[in-house]
Structure 1
């Protein structure tokens, strides 16, 4: 955007200059109590925020579009813009308007961008989900190496991982970052992968990913001479971390957030779960979006925000290190066995605040007195909690308990300095407690007692002037003044009273005066108020520095509280839901007794229905071929076993009566069907892409659940693909798997392939209907019961009857013709000859008459049983001797 040849106003010239430096962002331009936007920014913002679009002045002969939002309500508008994919540059007034006027009447207040607000750099409480991380990630490639670094500036967590291109999608699915930094030359290649993860891609110059300059930048950031103390980082890892640091410096305008030293994740240290599997299993978000209906939503009983974030991290990346898993499991077991301790811990933790985020806001100077109070109150909770956690603790809890203590000096300082309920903003004042600072107390006394002095002075002047109605008032223009009616004003303006009362202003019906004493008192009172606020601001800065000096120990305390909260929450879950402690090993066992699906079980319980638990043992036969009709519960059975493995390696107890699990390195799920029209992929193509990923990546420690492979194409094509897939899993991948299918022809593979066993979901037929028992048993289903399920779904009776006719003909022809179903179609009766709809069957008249005589509430169990036999006998007689027409 360029200026016109003709002169523009100084203010608009300033706006255009700032805008040129931030072309990719909406510019919030501070004008007094409003942030204003102009030109295309105003048009876009007005539409996105649904606010009025107006105009202000002209540019190049055309009206300048304008809109604005109040400064005090800016956070709500920022949230809307960020959610809609905008970035916002905030330009603040850098000086007092009075200072600008000293340079001349046409001088413009100095303004500059103090912050660039982007999806990955949010810190404000109102802009964040307290129970979820807000990650900013950066991906870097150096020759054949790749690395992913990510940071949550609202908590200071900073991590890095070696990440070749093939793993990028999987890691982004695990982290769910809000924003991903890419080198400009690679953005086009990887923006689609980033977009699929739900993040926005932000290009940076290649220099931001430079490993040599980046190492120096990171050393300066963490005040160290070398990064070796944090880990042996590759060039790609250093480049990714350097890009994060560069971007934070750019967006925060040099005011860097408090970051913890980077943690280098070990490849293979966490269970690998790809994006398709996460969606299928609904680990942290349901298919429809949001927590409700997800595993995380079903099991989250944490009472702190930090504990909830830790639970999500553990579910998203279950550990593959046996020692780590057993240590976490032991912490949960401690609170399961000591219920009183667990409940006491949870009660105390309810008083804890999110000190990670409070600390981050204070470090960036976006905090306030309430953040300090949150830290003070949480330090008191930690001290109280440490007193409750005693005795012989498991390793995880013992380490956490150590970090709860040793904060007495900071707690005492904050407790003495802050009032019980401080205001939100520093500018509001009143947050420093009385008695903490002598100078502040004196200024406050003068400010507050000035009111009583004014009242005494008013009484004195009323007596001197003999005017009982005389008042001393105040406004922002005149300050303090004496006011009386015009009737009494004349004598006050005459000697000798005129020597005391000085006339200032006459209004309709009122005359205003001042005195020398009143002016002097006003000066002292006004100075005292300003002085008190200035002293509070100075004390706030001192407290902020004291808190930041303890940042490392406060971060350790926050992690300890989260760890304790998670262990106690998982223990409460295990007790409440009757879960068991799984036995984990380095072997290949996978034996589940009485396993349940935690989300489905909760839903059924709300509906007043029981959940049918099932066993699964992949020890002797690592692959189960599962058959059974739709709606029988195959998908639930598949998913529940994958979820049990994930929960176990997250350190939790599991929804089963018994569980023995050899560590699982990867979980793959191919359950359900959906197309991808945006990429031109049919349902079958999506199914094949996901199946290919499993066959190419699954190792012998993986757990694979597959449902209905090959159903999206022709019958024999699908059967052949499913057949070959099962053989590959058994012979090449050699993984543990549950393979659900409707192709009953595959049942014979159990006899031909070592390690494959048949299982089925049991059903029962009753008078043409199918009853789902939801029980998984060894063996095979004799058929799919598809027609019966269609009838339950509500298909017209004529269609169901026609389907039965076609099915019988096809099955008969297959038996007689060697399986060539296609040749039978020409022999079927025409569909136009389909039988007309049959009237609904009704009970025999004598049965209906007998039922009308029955009063169910008055029947004893024996009488009810006798009635059933009586009605069954009446029905049998009718069938043997049907009524004549």
Structure 2
């Protein structure tokens, strides 16, 4: 015999079966409940109690739940741990279900599937980062990548063959990647940090995708949006299909899709992004990245735009110059820039507020965000009038013309509305007469009744008339039998309706009093109902202006970023670079923005350096030698970052810079293995180097650090040598090549365009002082043993290392050909005996006097006397 599930549990199981692969949040009153395997998994993930409810097939049913009002925090935890959540709401009032019978179940259905790429709630999102959902489609010999952020409405697509997918995913960092079943892109998705979701192949049909897009935008053809390939239509169609499925038909407000042209941005692969720490530090997180060091934006939209610009620097020369013009104009007027930034600080995240309203997940504060953003926008537009750079002028134009909507929202909303519409209290007094009266009844019912009583007493000519209330009759009019005779006779009998006679009193009612009673009893619910109706009307008004509001939000982000770049340039002494179509790369006094920021916190100065990677029209390669810890990697990286900043439209950390357009940026810096793929550190190095040599064109910028160090000395040297020759003769690109193989400095005499440079050091009393200054020339030593001593290796190890190094160097000078022979001649290593305590050094009178001084205790007169005393002691010591 088996247990028959209860009607409620049968409903749960049916909904669960219809939504495989997701935890089911099953609404029961004020809680979302989970049962069976979902409960076990959720209880462990959320660290909440696991209980039981009834039995199924003879076994207790595991159960856990979370409060509805706190569901968002639990959803965030589950999403971060890789879960998908189906939310099943009650679709009717439980009272309606009870009317159908004791065993009737409240109707429930899934209203939304929450996945990493479909988040809209403010508490689930990072305000300053996009939350992209991406889809990759392959149609015959074509492939494309589409991506959307439903929290802002951004929707883009590009041709993307499989070899380009990894770099593009690294750029976008999507939270979720949609692929066709059997696509086998798990590794790429994992490397990009994206959850991968497989969809049936039919979701990627290009013809169906075109129809879905036409239906979404209400058009007959997509020609007005541009020309799209079959693969692009398939990728966009898959995105729309997935959104329709997860949002249960409540589609987000998506902007028309933009096609990103191939070659429009600087190409940066995943390894280079990681090595340069563009948006994320190697240690994880944002702090320590270029983005964190330069982000002075004051709006969420501006911060997201900055990340896009840094992740994909432009190759459109006109666009770069226009952005630089805007920054330069604001640099020249710091007062205006300060005013703009102060106004922008009061601009809320209109993009995400608009998205929530479109999905019917918004509240009164989202309407207030529209009002505040457009109000500040109008003020900003007024400041940006007259002769203004084109980018700022265009942005200002998008901020004008919203007066009617702002007036409506300003008249309708209180200054500080509540979060949820269901709480009421967000509509301003005087906006709706019916609401004002209902609120008066709700809040001042006794006063309204008193006023009606005085009115009736005057009309009846009965000063003693009273309006009273009891639980049986509700509100009624009461007077004595003597006075009642007048009210029972015409014409008053047509107003006052006899209701009840008692021993000493006669009671009446009126149509007006009955209606008032109903309104008083229902005033609270009626007030909420009126406010919900007003909210719906305001929401509709905002959505009618959605396109214009979206443009205004983008304009504010553009202005914010230009103002932020200007503030950064002014505060840090950055300059406007010359960017053109040449292959020049000349930087005077360049600095590393992240390292300089860290040094400033330590009150230390950064040593600026020059870099010139051109000889006439011929690109140059600098071969950089010098010890570890001297700053070679910093020098390499800073020049790459200067190129990124310049093509992002920012000023750069240098006294002067002339940069020809960089088409591709490659970096092979640092050492890391890839154990998951069975790759050693050396193998990773070689794979990344191969990618550079196979892809770099003559407008690329390449920075390489210590190629060949993961193998034997002669193998490593030969590989590094061949790589350098290939960069020079085949790729013909601009490059910085750091190495410890001093033998390679001979290449400067063999290859035109190769120059030697070194990071200067100074030795003083056995110590190595790093000057961090890059000079022309070659280093003669690596100072590895000195660096090892600075790192804290035991003294015995350092001494033995010096001994071996001296033997090898002397053998090399004497023409030895077999290092093994040199090593055989070394005396055997013997551990040094424990060091005996060193005798105390003799302390001079001067040193003794200095030890006895406590500067903080000296008066000015005592300090002056002490100077004469120390001068005398110095003479004695001499």
1:518 deviates by 11
Say whether 1:116 aligns with 2:101. Answer: no
What is the CA–CA distance in structure 2 between the aligned matches of 1:787 and 1:680, rounded to whole Å?
32
Say whether 1:680 aligns with 2:670. Answer: no
What is the CA–CA distance in structure 1 between the aligned matches of 2:871 and 2:306, rounded to whole Å?
56
Give the aligned partner of residue 468 of structure 1. none
What is the CA–CA distance in structure 2 between the aligned matches of 1:237 and 1:208, rounded to whole Å?
13
Cα pair 1:759 1:780 within 8 Å, conserved: yes
What is the CA–CA distance in structure 2 between the aligned matches of 1:849 and 1:807, rounded to whole Å?
41
Say whether 1:599 aligns with 2:594. Answer: yes
Give the aligned partner of residue 379 of structure 1. 374
Give the aligned partner of residue 644 of structure 1. 642
Give the aligned partner of residue 253 of structure 1. 248
Give the aligned partner of residue 463 of structure 1. none
SS across alignment from 2:88: strand
Give the aligned partner of residue 56 of structure 1. 53
SS across alignment from 2:225: coil
Cα pair 2:4 2:56 within 8 Å, conserved: no
1:412 deviates by 1.1
SS across alignment from 1:616: strand
CA deviation string 1:103-141 (max 9, x = no partner): 111100000000000000000011111110000000001
What is the CA–CA distance in structure 2 between the aligned matches of 1:841 and 1:170, rounded to whole Å?
63
SS across alignment from 2:185: helix
1:706 alignment partner, one of 704, 707, 724: 704
What is the CA–CA distance in structure 2 between the aligned matches of 1:583 and 1:866, rounded to whole Å?
57
CA deviation string 1:544-582 (max 9, x = no partner): 111101000000000000000000010000000000100
Q: 1:395 to 1:861 in 2, by over 3 A?
A: farther
Say whether 1:107 aligns with 2:104. Answer: yes
Q: 1:865 to 1:581 in 2, by over 3 A?
A: farther
Say whether 1:330 aligns with 2:325. Answer: yes
Q: 1:341 to 1:661 in 2, by over 3 A?
A: same
SS across alignment from 1:831: coil
Give the aligned partner of residue 718 of structure 1. 716
SS across alignment from 1:584: strand
Give the aligned partner of residue 757 of structure 1. 755
CA deviation string 1:631-685 (max 9, x = no partner): 1011111110000000000000000000010010111111111112222221111
Give the aligned partner of residue 23 of structure 1. 20
2:655 alignment partner, one of 638, 647, 657: 657
1:439 deviates by 2.1
Q: 1:125 to 1:472 in 2, by over 3 A?
A: farther
SS across alignment from 1:353: coil
SS across alignment from 2:781: coil
1:529 deviates by 2.2
Give the aligned partner of residue 742 of structure 1. 740
2:170 alignment partner, one of 167, 173, 176: 173
2:410 alignment partner, one of 410, 415, 418: 415
Cα pair 1:305 1:354 within 8 Å, conserved: yes
Give the aligned partner of residue 225 of structure 1. 220
1:835 deviates by 7.3
Cα pair 1:797 1:838 within 8 Å, conserved: no
2:295 alignment partner, one of 282, 300, 303: 300
2:797 alignment partner, one of 760, 780, 799: 799
Q: 1:740 to 1:371 in 2, by over 3 A?
A: same
Q: 1:478 to 1:123 in 2, by over 3 A?
A: farther
1:689 deviates by 1.3
What is the CA–CA distance in structure 1 between the aligned matches of 2:144 and 2:764, rounded to whole Å?
60
Q: 1:291 to 1:840 in 2, by over 3 A?
A: farther
So what's the TM-score if we normalise by structure 2? 0.90
Give the aligned partner of residue 631 of structure 1. 629
What is the CA–CA distance in structure 1 between the aligned matches of 2:546 and 2:21, rounded to whole Å?
34
Say whether 1:809 aligns with 2:804. Answer: no
Q: 1:582 to 1:517 in 2, by over 3 A?
A: closer
Cα pair 1:39 1:64 within 8 Å, conserved: yes
Q: 1:837 to 1:163 in 2, by over 3 A?
A: farther
**Which deviates further from its counterpart, 853-862 or 276-285?**
853-862
2:155 alignment partner, one of 155, 158, 167: 158
Give the aligned partner of residue 781 of structure 2. 783
2:664 alignment partner, one of 663, 666, 689: 666
Query: Which structure 2 residues correspond to residues 406-555 of structure 1 after superposition, within 5 A?
Result: 406-452=401-447, 523-555=518-550
SS across alignment from 2:769: strand
CA deviation string 1:784-819 (max 9, x = no partner): 001111111111111111111110001111222345
Q: 1:472 to 1:736 in 2, by over 3 A?
A: farther
What is the CA–CA distance in structure 1 between the aligned matches of 2:282 and 2:402, rounded to whole Å?
44
CA deviation string 1:508-564 (max 9, x = no partner): xxxxxxxx9999875431222222221111111111111101000000000000000
What is the CA–CA distance in structure 1 between the aligned matches of 2:836 and 2:660, rounded to whole Å?
56
Give the aligned partner of residue 141 of structure 1. 138
Cα pair 2:816 2:822 within 8 Å, conserved: no
2:65 alignment partner, one of 65, 68, 82: 68
1:321 alignment partner, one of 310, 316, 332: 316
So what's the TM-score if we normalise by structure 1? 0.89
What is the CA–CA distance in structure 1 between the aligned matches of 2:842 and 2:219, rounded to whole Å?
91
CA deviation string 1:693-726 (max 9, x = no partner): 1111111111111111111111111111111111
Q: 1:498 to 1:28 in 2, by over 3 A?
A: farther
CA deviation string 1:266-314 (max 9, x = no partner): 1010001111111111111111222111111111111110000000000
1:445 deviates by 2.2
Give the aligned partner of residue 486 of structure 1. none
Cα pair 2:667 2:703 within 8 Å, conserved: yes
Q: 1:103 to 1:635 in 2, by over 3 A?
A: same
Cα pair 2:758 2:779 within 8 Å, conserved: yes
Cα pair 2:175 2:195 within 8 Å, conserved: yes
Q: 1:520 to 1:243 in 2, by over 3 A?
A: closer
Give the aligned partner of residue 268 of structure 1. 263
CA deviation string 1:174-195 (max 9, x = no partner): 0000000000021xx2111011
Give the aligned partner of residue 461 of structure 2. none
Q: 1:844 to 1:821 in 2, by over 3 A?
A: farther
Cα pair 1:798 1:837 within 8 Å, conserved: no
What is the CA–CA distance in structure 2 between the aligned matches of 1:196 and 1:829, rounded to whole Å?
50
Cα pair 1:34 1:70 within 8 Å, conserved: yes
Query: Which structure 2 residues correspond to residues 392-403 of structure 1 after superposition, within 5 A?
Result: 392-403=387-398
SS across alignment from 1:214: helix
What is the CA–CA distance in structure 2 between the aligned matches of 1:593 and 1:563, rounded to whole Å?
29
1:588 deviates by 0.8
Instruction: Could you list the structure 1 runs, at least 4 aligned residues long, displaced by more than 4 angstroms after superposition.
Output: 453-459, 471-474, 477-481, 495-501, 516-522, 833-844, 847-871
Say whether 1:572 aligns with 2:567. Answer: yes
1:869 deviates by 9.5
1:446 deviates by 2.1
Give the aligned partner of residue 354 of structure 1. 349
1:342 alignment partner, one of 299, 321, 337: 337
Cα pair 1:434 1:441 within 8 Å, conserved: yes
- For structure 1, the 5+ residue unaligned runs are 460-470, 482-494, 502-515, 875-885
Q: 1:742 to 1:534 in 2, by over 3 A?
A: same
What is the CA–CA distance in structure 1 between the aligned matches of 2:582 and 2:871, rounded to whole Å?
57
Give the aligned partner of residue 39 of structure 2. 42
Give the aligned partner of residue 212 of structure 1. 207
1:363 deviates by 0.4
Cα pair 2:3 2:56 within 8 Å, conserved: no
Cα pair 2:701 2:733 within 8 Å, conserved: yes
Cα pair 2:23 2:86 within 8 Å, conserved: yes
Give the aligned partner of residue 189 of structure 2. 194
Give the aligned partner of residue 615 of structure 1. 610
**Which deviates further from its counterpart, 707-716 or 858-867?**
858-867
Aligned residues: 830
Q: 1:841 to 1:848 in 2, by over 3 A?
A: farther
